[in-house]
Amino acid sequence: MARMKFICDAERCIECNGCVTACKNEHEVPWGVNRRRVVTMNDGVPGERSISVACMHCSDAPCMAVCPVDCFYKTDEGVVLHDKDLCIGCGYCFYACPFGAPQFPQAGAFGLRGKMDKCTYCSGGPEENNSAEEFRKYGRNRLAEGKLPACAEMCSTKALLAGDAEVITKIYKTRVVTRGKGEEIWGWSMAYGGSGKLADQPGGRA
């Protein structure tokens, strides 16, 4: 079974926000909710680098660990999803997540939050695949259509890679080797932990 991951190649990301609007377009995410955003470090000075960040679909996801109603679940493909029918909008996951992935649509009176919304890796939620109900709550389900997430598919420089960890690790690794640099900024180890050696990576072979 494939293990779906994202990785963003900081040597290629040009902060064009194509991934951000691809996501908005595909899922019709409302104003104010950003399932994906581009973060820039050293903005405007030498060493400036950008990376596109969304839910990283962690191997050991802290959001899952802290959720008081246990609304998170993980698919066979390693995608971390949640059930909005269960979510109580408490926001614990927001504090637990190191990537700022969980989003809360409305901040009402008395700090009331709406139901959490986050990147689904374009694979919907617990409802029937590609049903209207699934779309209403979670957006489109591209994986069920045999497609990869819209953000990565449309990335302007192919910086954002999505797919089976084994495949995208190889692509990324080839680039790092060709360039002779790049991993130190936002390599696999930075994104998902571990030694960063190919052999130690998900599905990696030395």
Partner 1 sequence: MMLTRKTEGRAERANPLARAMSALSAKTVDRRTFLKGSGLTAGAAAFASQLPLGFVGEATAATAAGTGKMERKRTVCTHCSVGCAVDAYVQDGVWVRQEPVFDSPLNLGAHCAKGASVREHGMTEHSHRLKTPMKLVDGKYRKISWEQAINEIGDKLLALRKESGPDSVFWIGSSKFSNEQAYMYRKFVSMFGTNNMDHQARICHSTTVAGVANTWGYGAMTNSYNDLQNSKAIFFIGSNAAEAHPVSMLHALHAKETGAKMIVVDPRYTRTASKADQFIRMRSGGDIPMLFGMLYHIFKNGWEDQKYINDRVFGMEKVREDIMKKWTPDKVFEACGVPEAEVYKAAETMAKNRPSTVVWCMGQTQHSIGNAMVRASCILQLALGNVGRSGGGTNIYRGHDNVQGATDVGPNPDSLPGYYGLVAGSWKHWCRVWGVEYDWMKSRFVSQAMMEKPGMTLSRWIDGVTEKNELIDQDSNLRAIVYWGHAPNSQTRGLDMKVAMEKVDLMLIVDPYPSASAVMPDRKDGVYLLPAATQFETSGSCTASNRSIQWREKVVEPLFESKPDHTIMYAFAKKFGFEKEFVKNIKLVKDKQGWDEPVIEDITREFNRGLWTIGMTGQSPERLKAHMRNMDAFDAKTLRCTKSVVDKETGYDMNGDFFGLPWPCYGNAQLKHPGSPNLYDNSKHVMDGGGNFRANFGIAREGVSLLAEDGSHSMGADITTGYPEFDHVLLKKLGWWSELTEEEAKEAEGKNWKTDLSGGIQRVVMKNHGCHPFGNAKARAVVWNFPDPIPQHREPIYSNRPDLVAKYPTHEDKKAFWRLPTLYKTAQQKAITDKVHEKYPIVLTSGRLVEYEGGGEETRSNPWLAELQQDNFVEINPKDAEARGIKYWDYVWVSSPTGARIKVRALVTQRVGEGVSWIPFHFAGWWQGKDLLEKYPDGAAPIVRGESVNTATTYGYDSVTMMQETKTTLCQIERA
Which residues, numbered 107-166, are part of the site for partner 1 (CB under 8 A)? 108, 113-117, 123, 126-127, 129-130, 132-133, 135-140, 143-147, 150, 153-158
CA distances from 111 to 29, 35, 71, 96, 137 (A): 22, 21, 21, 18, 22
Name the residue nearer to partner 1 (CB basis): 96 or 154: 154
Provide, rounded to whole angstroms, the least separation between the CB of residue 48 and partner 1: 4
Footprint on residues 19-78 left by partner 1 (CB under 8 A): 19-22, 24-34, 37-40, 43-50, 73-77
- Choosing from 5, 7, 8, 18, the residue that interacts with partner 1 (CB under 8 A) is 18
- Minimum CB–partner distance for residue 37 and partner 1 (Å): 6
- Binding to partner 1 by residue 92, rule CB under 8 A? no
Q: Is 187 a residue that touches partner 1 (CB under 8 A)?
A: no
State how far the Cα of 24 lies from the Cα of 134, in Å rounded to an integer. 16
Give the residue carrying structure tokens 């899952």: 64
The residues facing 161 across adjacent strands are: 7
- Considering the complex, what minimum distance in angstroms separates the CB of residue 146 from partner 1? 4
Cα torsion through 153, 15, 195, 171, rounded to 10: 40
d(CA 43, CA 49): 7
